[in-house]
């Protein structure tokens, strides 16, 4: 429970862009046997993502560390593995006796609090000689904690590899790298008393690099002394997750490492596309061959039942999954508009989206609370569910019309939506109002500010979640998978379009992490992806949707890496028409 509260706090904080929000990392299950020799070999670590580069401990943005430090992690039944890379032109060390105070040298430090209670957390320090110190804190020093230096990481394996020379100031070194394997059994006994993590569990951790100032004299590295104090100049502290002050002993500020049962895999990439009627079957064959050769493993295609039946056997030859891409609540079916105008959503001014579609002419949306709408959608999907070889159904437009448009889209409509305006706020249809009233005893449309009414917001989140989950149950009964294109993070999705998608029971999510819609850069793909991943069960897949028109060919592989770093299994390209020959050429094979 505590973990849940912390996690939701963290989400709120990170949305607000608070500079000291904890970092997160998805730690995958190892595929390989890892020899602890200090070398970060491709065969062992190649498919594992790096953490973000370390930053100044106080989170001061201006103080970018001089030398890069970063970490990779993975785990198996017996061990937690850490690989560390520390760029360093002058590798040096003095301490050779284990259990001495290692941070008097340049060092690397690991802090682990398995259950996240900020009590009984372990610390490990290591220098370039691989001399180490390990200890257990019962609580932080600020709370009069004691360091138990008798405590040991029993059975820990560690090794340092020096890419350069140690204690030789006459040359320039490249880096030192460390491999550490910590047995889960280290945490089993009192007072930590924690078992190997289950998939989906988050552990609090942080990593720190202590960097002293040296000068060279008599062919030796000498620590620089502050003339005023007569002591060594203060060390620099570079960390993975910023602490906000020069103090590692605030476990509440550490990052979250989420353990996942998933193994690292080559990324699985998808593409959104329309069925092209002009293509012959032979041309479809070339298309699927081309997609396979360019790392596309699945397509999300708008097509009719008969069209799908034609192309599915061809796609199968190239191991490409076919999922039909269906608009769900946005409905421009003439018969429905004519015969069931009452199925459509109504805004807070009492105006139907049929009468006055918000933003664009095709913005005609069915009310998710209406049971007849559910039945109509089942009928629409039934024939697809019966197609042999169709792997799944991909929902799009499964939400309310945007009560608030993505920030960078608002100017296109001459809008500044700094709050919920009534003309974009749906569904105030009779059915919704009366069923809410029955449950909660009042009419939400009479509230002074319905956007602040959490019960009314929740009612609408739930009405979408309910129709999604009922349709998913229906489709699953045909042994088909269900996925959805959703807004970039659960938080943004709730705020803009009332999608509470981390409560939807689907097989996969394709959040549309279109960074330019939100005035963000490519780095944002990592954090947005991660917010989805940490809020979904581990068995559910997430693929980051990317908007190709604003991504250059040279950037496409960094986009894939950004998504994978956030814990995605790959990307989904929007869309096939936006891909240039240069994009295809650069796409990872």
> Using CB under 5 A as the criterion, which residues of the chain lie in contact with Zn ion when the complex forms?
367, 369, 427, 429, 432
Closer residue to Zn ion, CB minimum distance, 429 or 542: 429
CB of 412 to Zn ion, least distance (A): 27
Strand partners, 331: none
Chain centroid to CA 65: 25
Cα–Cα distance, 374 to 385 (Å, whole number): 16
Nearer to Zn ion, 432 or 472 (CB): 432
Q: Which is nearer to Zn ion, 184 or 344 (CB)?
A: 344
Q: Least distance in Å: CB of 397 to Zn ion?
A: 16
Give dist(CA 288, CA 300) in Å, integer: 13
Which residue number, 210 or 427, has a Cβ lying nearer to Zn ion?
A: 427
Q: How far is the CB of 456 from Zn ion (least distance, A)?
A: 12
Closer residue to Zn ion in complex, CB, 287/463: 463
Cis-peptide, bond into residue 133, ω within 30° of zero:
no
3-state secondary structure of 284: helix
How far, in whole angstroms, is CA 475 from its chain's centroid? 27
Rank residues 464 and 512 by Cβ distance to Zn ion and give the closer one.
464
User: For residue 111, what are the β-bridge partners?
Assistant: 123, 206
Residue 486 CA: distances (Å) to CA of 146, 384, 497, 534, 579: 48, 21, 9, 16, 22
Nearest distance, CB of residue 464 and Zn ion, angstroms: 11
Say if residue 183 is preceded by a cis peptide, omega within 30 of 0. no
**Minimum CB–partner distance for residue 369 and Zn ion (Å):** 5
Minimum separation from the CB atom of position 458 to Zn ion (A): 15
Give the shortest CB-367-to-Zn ion separation in angstroms: 3
Dihedral over alpha carbons 358, 360, 366, 368 (to 10 degrees): -60
Least distance between Zn ion and beta carbon 475 (Å): 23
Distance of alpha carbon 362 from alpha carbon 300, whole angstroms: 21
- Nearest approach, Cβ of 355 to Zn ion (angstroms)? 15
For Zn ion, which is the closer residue by CB, 91 or 429?
Answer: 429
> What's the chain's length in residues?
589
Q: Give whichever of 429 and 484 is closer to Zn ion, judged by the CB atom.
A: 429
DSSP structural state of residue 116: -
**Which of 349, 580 has the CB closer to Zn ion?**
349
Neighbour count for residue 72 (Cβ, 10 Å): 22
What is the closest distance, in whole angstroms, from the C-beta atom of residue 505 to Zn ion in the complex? 22
Q: Which is nearer to Zn ion, 49 or 370 (CB)?
A: 370
Closest to 204 measured CA to CA, from 27, 17, 19: 27
Nearer to Zn ion, 93 or 366 (CB): 366
Sign of CA dihedral 379, 384, 387, 389: negative
Mark out the alpha helices in 257-297 (DSSP H runs): 281-293
| CA nearest to 535, candidates 589, 491, 571, 576 | 491
Using the 8-state DSSP alphabet, how is residue 232 labeled? Answer: B
Nearest to 323 by CA among 375, 284, 276, 273: 273
The residues, any chain, with a CB within 8 Å of residue 585's CB and separated by 6 or more, are: 553
Q: Tell me the closest approach of the beta carbon of residue 575 to Zn ion, in angstroms.
A: 31
In sequence order, what are the residues at sequence separation of 6 or more whose Cβ sits closer than 8 angstroms to the Cβ of residue 175? Answer: 85, 86, 87, 88, 163, 164
Q: What are phi and psi of 8, to 5 degrees?
A: -75, -35
């Amino acid at each position: 429970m505590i973990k849940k509260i912390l996690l939701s706090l963290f989400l709120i904080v990170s949305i607000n862009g608070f500079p000291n929000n904890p970092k997160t990392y998805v730690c995958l299950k190892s595929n390989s046997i890892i020899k602890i020799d200090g070398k970060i070999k491709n065969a062992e670590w190649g498919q594992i993502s790096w953490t973000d580069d370390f930053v100044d401990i106080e989170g001061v943005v201006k103080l970018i560390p001089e030398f890069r430090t970063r970490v990779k992690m993975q785990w198996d039944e017996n061990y937690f593995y850490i690989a560390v890379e520390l760029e360093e032109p002058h590798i040096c060390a003095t301490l050779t006796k284990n259990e001495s105070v290692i941070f008097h040298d340049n060092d690397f430090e690991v802090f682990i609090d398995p259950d996240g209670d900020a009590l009984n957390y372990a610390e490990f320090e290591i220098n370039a000689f691989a001399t180490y110190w390990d200890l257990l804190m019962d609580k932080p020093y600020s709370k009069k904690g004691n360091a138990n230096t008798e405590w040991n990481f029993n059975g820990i394996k560690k090794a340092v590899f020096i890419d350069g020379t140690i204690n030789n100031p006459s040359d320039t070194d490249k880096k030192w790298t460390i491999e550490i394997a910590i047995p889960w059994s280290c945490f089993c006994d009192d007072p930590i008393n924690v078992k190997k993590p289950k998939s989906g569990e988050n552990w609090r951790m942080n990593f720190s690099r202590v960097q002293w100032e040296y000068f060279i004299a008599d062919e030796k590295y000498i620590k620089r002394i502050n003339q005023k104090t007569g002591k060594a100049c203060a060390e620099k502290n570079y960390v993975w997750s910023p602490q906000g002050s020069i103090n590692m002993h605030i476990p509440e500020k550490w990052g979250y490492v989420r353990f996942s049962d998933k193994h690292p895999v080559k990324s699985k990439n998808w593409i959104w596309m329309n069925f092209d009627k002009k293509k012959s079957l032979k041309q479809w064959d070339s298309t699927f061959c081309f997609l396979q050769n360019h790392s596309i493993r699945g397509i999300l295609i708008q097509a009719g039942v008969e069209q799908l039946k034609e192309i599915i056997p061809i796609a199968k030859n190239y191991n490409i999954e076919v999922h039909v891409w269906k608009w769900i609540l946005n409905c421009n079916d003439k018969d429905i508009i004519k015969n069931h105008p009452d199925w459509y959503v109504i805004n807070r001014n009492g105006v139907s989206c049929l009468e006055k579609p918000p933003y664009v002419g095709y913005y005609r949306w069915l009310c998710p609370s209406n049971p007849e709408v559910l039945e109509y959608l089942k009928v629409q999907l039934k024939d697809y569910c019966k197609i042999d070889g169709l792997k799944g159904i991909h929902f799009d437009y499964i939400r309310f019309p945007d009560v608030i448009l993505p920030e960078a889209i608002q100017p296109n409509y001459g809008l500044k939506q700094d709050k919920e305006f009534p003309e974009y706020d749906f569904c105030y249809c009779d059915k919704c109002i009366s069923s809410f009233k029955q449950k909660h005893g009042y009419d939400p449309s009479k509230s002074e500010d319905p956007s602040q009414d959490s019960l009314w917001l929740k009612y609408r989140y739930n009405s979408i979640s309910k129709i999604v989950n009922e349709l998913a149950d229906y489709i699953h009964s045909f042994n088909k998978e269900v996925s959805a294109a959703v807004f970039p993070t659960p938080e943004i999705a709730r705020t803009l379009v009332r999608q509470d998608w981390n409560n939807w029971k689907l097989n996969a999510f394709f959040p549309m992490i279109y960074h330019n819609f939100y005035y963000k850069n490519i780095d944002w793909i990592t954090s947005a992806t991660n917010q989805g991943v940490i809020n979904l069960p581990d068995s559910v897949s997430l693929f980051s949707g990317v908007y190709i028109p604003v991504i250059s060919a040279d950037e496409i592989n960094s986009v894939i890496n950004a998504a994978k770093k956030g814990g995605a299994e790959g990307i989904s390209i929007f869309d096939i028409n936006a891909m240039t020959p240069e994009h295809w050429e650069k796409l990872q094979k």
